[in-house]
Structure 1
Amino acid sequence: MPHILHIDASARPGIAGRIEHGSHSRNLSQFFVSQWQASRPADPVTYRDIGQNPPSFITHDWIASSFTPDGQREPWMLDTLAESEQLVAELIAADILVIGTPLYNFGMPAALKAWVDQVVRPGRTVGIDETNPIEPYIPLLADRPRHAVILTARGGVGFEAGGQMAHMNHLEPSLLTALGFIGITRVHCIAVEGQEVGGELLATSVTEALRKVNVLVDSLLATVEAVALAEPA
């Protein structure tokens, strides 16, 4: 039974199309989850709204605690890492990570970067082989197939791979790097563009993005069903 971790990172609390100035990334992510649950209502979903409740930024104490080996941490170190432990546990439990996020100033929102910093953890999501100084990092979340679905909204146009503004898009590339570093390499990206332009351009982009989400849900559902059929009874 696949477990979904659903994260929304937009500073806008509402859904585009329902309220004025609503979030298009939230619209995509919630549409993905609703379509999934329509077919598999029993699959567990963990929801975290980091856009409205941002994770803490890492500090000197966090770094010192994180790089102190298990069993050697003092009580204050355990307290310092408590939030990170919760976020890491949610990610490890997930089979499908769904991230709804806008593109802010060519990169990810600060809240999403804070989440990334909290979950990329030595000994928890990435191992370090000190005997191999050339390639010391071991992605610990490669232990089983996990998928990440990155659903984004952009004010401008042409930020897709190969587009005229692609060189200024540091959102998806950064997320792909961070997720791949810890072992999540099956990543699917869908975006709405033209939010600042509006009108027919935005409407067409939204319709196409929702269509792609539907196709992706069907594809991932087929993958889950194929795995289930292949498992011994």
Structure 2
Amino acid sequence: MRQIILDTETTGLDPLTGDRIIEVAAVELVNLLPTGIGFHRLIDPERDIPAEASRIHGFTNGDLAGKPKFAEIAAEMLDFLGDAPIVAHNAPFDFGFLDAELLRAGLPKLNRARMIDSLMLAKERYPGMPNSLDALCRRLGVDNSMRSSHNAILDCRLLAQVYLELMGGKQPGLELAASQGGGGGAALATVEPVEWTSRPIAVPPARAEAHAAFVAGKVKDALWLKPPFGGGA
């Protein structure tokens, strides 16, 4: 099962008033686990970035000078997304901005049937509680200490771990390792083998004898007394 975790950073809150995307990032999940394959681009928004937006994500006009415009990366982004379901935290926000940029580039909007809103999933699981990405990281034990500002690629990596927990938790022997590097293709997950040691439980002789007497008198054709479980080879 292929899914995409996606996040954007923008110049503001409303694409209908001229706000634009400045960063788009996505990471690939297969069976809820990151594959290490990602997509990440900084984008020239073709407008000034308000100071209040820069305080949130840290990007200034100078940081994005010379970066490609959205129309120049749209085809590559859509190719990476494919037809997989797209998971985002407060997904209508990201879809709204992507739709506006795609229409501006002469491309069709994303199918809303593909949208999975992890914020709604969190609200259903934790009603009445704070469900921001930071709050979920703290609640679910996901290390977000490196998140000093909003950053699309880092937020994708954190959300990948949060989403796994929201969908049922880590599988035994699988550990997610968020990479500190940027850009697509960074290693996002490692799979470690489960190490275990057999620890037989010692049964006192008196209890073993009592159990044997109970089985002999009460249990007919006990399976565990027959080969290969018992009674010799």
TM-score under structure 2 length normalisation? 0.29
